[in-house]
């Protein structure tokens, strides 16, 4: 693991955990860990084969109330959503601060986030790895989520090979993108249930939300553990179950009502009485419909959802006020209820204000994540920043604050353009750009690059050295070709780089997804720029979100039929209540395009 990642990871520990480890991870690992090892019995845990065990560390049946859940949060990403989901279901949370807290838990949830290597390093250094093995081997109620499933396996190829806890045979490997499947696997997919597992009983044929680049594969050696698989390029393990031990590769806390019922059934097994694996027609990865909220302070200083026409968000009146289309938290909740697969907040003046000074934006995320259980993306102002007192904040710190406040993904605009320009100029990946740093620590699946291009028509494709395409509609002077110029600072400044060149460069630098806007189409309601979406989705193997221009349901089916976009994002038609999200989805279903209902 790289030192920077390790430091950031460790510093990301929740305050309580950090405090409990304040003897510092390195000194903790010598004397304290030895004491712990003397106490722990770990018969089959291959992770611990070198450890001599003298006596059992007894696991006591706690007398604490049934409503308490123990949560293992080592601070690497957005665990707020898991916390919110648990609280939403009426349970209290006890945070793990010492390995003993794991051993004494009545039920333990381990929402692994971030990358495999730093997670194992923290678990090893803190003694949590041994405690986890002991707890699981005693068949105590356990639910691992995402990386919390992967860590149970023998090893991972992620920055590896790296040894895992070794409880389940198998190696975690990367999805193969050479067969045309985009990696990371992001979105709502179907499960094939292979073994009775009470926690999955409400899932039936409905979609659940995945976001990952690595996965475990079923084999003869681990088949007794596998409770469901999912098909994406190959058939990977979507969940495991043995006795009271469960783990899921998908995110129940981000899978809407279906996901909440998975958590409920784990937390309260007596709710298993009503068996209703009904309905739903999920069969593969669904196309996503995303609601986008462009947010900024209006002239009175209130944070409002606004919406521009070709990025101009001011009313065409004498006062030129910022267009106000509602309150961010309320609208996000509404869109969640209406069936949005994901919600994006773009802090559109983040490029000029310091986002950590913009506490209302962090509050918006915190409040929204309390009862919106689909993925939240936030963008705007993610870059290094030095405030007026000379205090320097790295882009990683800014992103970390967004993750801690409830974001699942962060979106980088202007700073990604500068990083791509430098990379194309020098051919060197410095590892220092915000994009590289954040994706190294939080994983590429957590990093979106938002592109704000503007069409530039040319008569002859050789007029520019950038990638041009033949356009479907001629330019104002009959031009047949165009390139797409990237902009920064909310479209205010054009840069000498095209969307095509940028997309390819940021994929190499560690972007996990592209949010593809188009200034010409923004707010026009005339449909997505199909030429642009096709150009970019054909150029990269990460998912592409088509954005800008949706005005009717058939615009969504058109972009999915004519391009390989993974998702379509809209703002104006939803804010102005012209087309409900549900109507978009019903129309897509009618057109045989799989969506989550
Ligand atoms: O550069 O890292 O600070 O990020 C700034 C972010 O804010 C970028 O993601 C950029 O796209 C966004 N942004 C900046 N200025 C504006 C603006 O509108 N003046 N909004 C802006 C971009 C575009 C879409 C919009 C779709 C769909 N908004 O997100 O929601 O075009 O709209 P429609 O369905 O109504 O057509 P940084």
For the stretch 186-230, pLDDT in tens is 999 999 999 888 999 999 899 999 999 999 999 999 999 999 999
CA angle, 78 then 84 then 88, to 5°: 160
What is the number of the ligand 1 atom nearest to the C-alpha of 517? 31
Mean of pLDDT values over 312-325: 88
pLDDT grade for 564, boundaries at 50, 70 and 90? very high
**Closest C-alpha to 351, from 254, 528, 490:** 490
CA distance 566 to 560: 8
Catalytic annotation on 146?
yes
CA distances from 413 to 36, 56, 314, 331, 511 (A): 47, 53, 21, 23, 11
pTM given for the model = 0.89
Written as six digits, the tokens of 67 are: 């409503």
Give the Å distance between the CA of 439 and the centre of ligand 1: 22
Residue 483 has pLDDT above 80, yes or no: yes
Least confident piece of the model among 3-7, 20-24, 69-73: 20-24
pLDDT at 52: 33
Q: What is the pLDDT of residues 238-278, one digit of tens each?
A: 999 999 999 999 999 999 999 999 999 999 887 655 555 55
Residues touching ligand 1 (Cβ under 6 Å) are 292, 294, 307-308, 311, 313, 346, 348, 350-351, 379-382, 411-415, 450, 452, 490-491, 517, 522-523, 547-550, 570-572
CA distance 94 to 108: 9
Q: What is the pLDDT of residues 408-451, one digit of tens each?
A: 999 999 999 999 999 999 999 999 999 999 998 888 999 999 99
H helices of 276-338, in order, are 328-338
pLDDT at 44: 40
Where do we find the tokens 């000074």?
357
Catalytic annotation on 47?
no
Give the Å distance between the CA of 293 and the centre of ligand 1: 9
Q: 12 by DSSP, 3-state: which?
A: coil
Q: What is the pLDDT of residues 535-562, one digit of tens each?
A: 999 999 999 999 999 999 999 999 999 9
Written as six digits, the tokens of 183 are: 């990696």
Query: Considering just the CA atoms, what is the radius of gyration of the chain in Å?
Result: 24
Q: What is the pLDDT of residues 103-129, one digit of tens each?
A: 999 999 999 777 888 889 999 999 999
pLDDT at 77: 63
**Closest C-alpha to 253, from 481, 78, 38:** 78
pLDDT at 65: 57
Residue 390 has pLDDT above 60, yes or no: yes
Name the average pLDDT for the chain: 87
Q: What is the pLDDT of residues 512-522, one digit of tens each?
A: 999 999 999 99
Backbone angles phi and psi of 575, in degrees to 5: -65, -40
Catalytic annotation on 302?
no
Pocket test for ligand 1, best of 384, 385, 452, 544 (most atoms within 8 A of CB): 452
Give the Å distance between the CA of 327 and the centre of ligand 1: 17
Give the Å distance between the CA of 417 and the centre of ligand 1: 15
Continuous segment of H or E residues that includes residue 266: helix 256-267
């Amino acid at each position: 693991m790289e030192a920077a990642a390790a430091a950031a990871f460790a510093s990301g520990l929740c305050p309580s955990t950090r405090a409990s480890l304040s003897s510092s991870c390195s000194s903790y690992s010598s004397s304290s860990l030895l004491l712990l090892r003397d106490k722990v019995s770990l018969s089959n845990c291959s992770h611990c084969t070198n450890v001599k065990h003298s006596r059992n560390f007894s696991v006591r049946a706690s007398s604490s109330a049934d409503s308490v859940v123990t949560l293992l949060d080592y601070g690497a990403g957005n665990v707020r959503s898991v916390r919110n989901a648990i609280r939403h279901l009426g349970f209290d949370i006890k945070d793990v601060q010492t390995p003993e807290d794991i051993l004494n838990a009545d039920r333990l949830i381990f929402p692994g986030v971030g990358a495999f290597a730093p997670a194992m390093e923290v678990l090893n250094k803190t003694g949590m790895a041994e405690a986890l093995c002991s707890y699981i081997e005693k068949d105590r109620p356990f639910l691992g989520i995402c990386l919390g499933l992967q860590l149970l396996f023998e090893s991972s190829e992620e920055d590896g090979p790296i040894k895992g806890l070794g409880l389940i045979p198998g190696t975690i490997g990367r999805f193969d993108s050479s067969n045309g499947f985009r990696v990371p696997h992001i979105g709502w997919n179907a499960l094939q249930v292979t073994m009775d597992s009470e926690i999955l009983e409400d899932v039936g044929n409905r979609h659940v939300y995945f976001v990952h680049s690595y996965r475990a594969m079923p084999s003869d050696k681990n088949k007794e553990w596998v409770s469901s698989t999912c098909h994406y390029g190959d058939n990977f393990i979507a969940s495991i179950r043995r006795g009271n031990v469960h783990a899921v590769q998908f995110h129940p806390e981000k899978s809407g009502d279906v996901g909440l019922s998975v958590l409920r059934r784990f937390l309260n097994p007596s709710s298993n009485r009503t068996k209703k694996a009904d309905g739903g027609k999920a069969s593969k990865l669904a196309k996503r419909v995303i609601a986008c909220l462009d947010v900024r302070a209006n002239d009175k200083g209130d944070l409002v959802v606004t919406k521009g026409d070709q990025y101009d968000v001011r009313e065409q009146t004498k006062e030129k006020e910022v267009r106000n289309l509602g309150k961010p938290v309320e609208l996000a909740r509404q869109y969640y209820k209406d069936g949005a697969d994901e919600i994006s907040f773009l802090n559109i003046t983040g490029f000029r204000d310091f986002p950590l000074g913009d506490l209302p934006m962090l509050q918006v995320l915190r409040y929204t994540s309390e009862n919106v259980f689909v993925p939240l993306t936030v963008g705007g102002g993610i870059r290094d920043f030095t405030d007026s007192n000379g205090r320097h904040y790295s882009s990683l710190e800014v992103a970390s604050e967004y993750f801690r406040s409830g974001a699942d993904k962060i979106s980088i605009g202007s700073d990604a353009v500068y990083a791509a320009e430098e990379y194309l100029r020098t051919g060197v990946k410095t590892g220092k750009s915000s994009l590289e740093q954040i994706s190294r620590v939080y994983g590429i699946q957590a990093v979106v690059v938002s592109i704000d291009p503007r069409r530039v028509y040319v008569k002859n494709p050789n007029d520019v050295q950038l990638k041009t395409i033949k356009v479907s509609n001629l330019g104002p002077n009959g031009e047949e070709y165009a390139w797409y110029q990237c902009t920064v600072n909310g479209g205010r400044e054009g840069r000498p780089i095209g969307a095509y060149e940028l997309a390819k460069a940021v994929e190499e630098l560690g972007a996990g997804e592209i949010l593809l806007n188009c200034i010409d189409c923004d707010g026009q309601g005339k449909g997505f720029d199909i030429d642009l979406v096709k150009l970019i989705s054909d150029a990269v193997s990460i998912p592409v979100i088509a954005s800008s221009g949706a005005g009717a349901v058939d615009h969504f089916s058109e972009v999915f039929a004519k391009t390989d976009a993974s998702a379509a994002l809209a703002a104006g038609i939803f804010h102005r209540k012209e087309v409900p999200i549900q109507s978009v989805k019903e129309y897509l279903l009618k057109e045989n395009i799989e969506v989550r209902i």
